[in-house]
Amino acid sequence: MAVIAELEELRREVASVTLEILRLCRRRNELAEKIAEIKMKLNLPVEDLSVEEDLRRRVLDLCRSEDMDESFCLKLLDLLIGESKRLQREKLLKMKT
C-alpha cells in the first residue's frame, strides 16, 4: 500500500510541476508581447537569430551541467521560440491597425 501512496504523491507532484511550467510559459509569453511593443517602436524585426543562438547555447550549457537530454531541451526551446514569434507577430499586427 505504501508504494501506491508514493505513486499517487509522485503523480500529484508531476501535476503540480506541469502547472507551474505552464504558468511560467504564460509569463514568458507576456514578456514576448512586451518585447514586440519595443521592437515596433524601434522598427526591429520579430526574428533576431543572434539572440536565438545565444539562448540555444545557454540551453545546451544547462543541459550539459544538469545532465538533461539535449534533444528534448532543444525541441522545447524551439516550441517556446516559435510561440514567442507567433505572439510578437500577432501583437505587431494589432498595433499597426
Residue 74 predicted with pLDDT over 80: yes
Query: Which domains does the chain possess?
Result: 2-96 (1.20.59.10)
- Residues 61-71 pLDDT 10s: 999 999 999 99
- Residues 20-32 pLDDT 10s: 999 999 999 999 9
Residue 1 predicted with pLDDT over 80: no
Determine the residue type at 40. M
Mean of the per-residue pLDDT values of the chain: 96
Backbone angles phi, psi at 69, to 5 degrees: -70, 115
Q: Extract the runs of DSSP E, i.e. beta strands, from the chain.
A: none
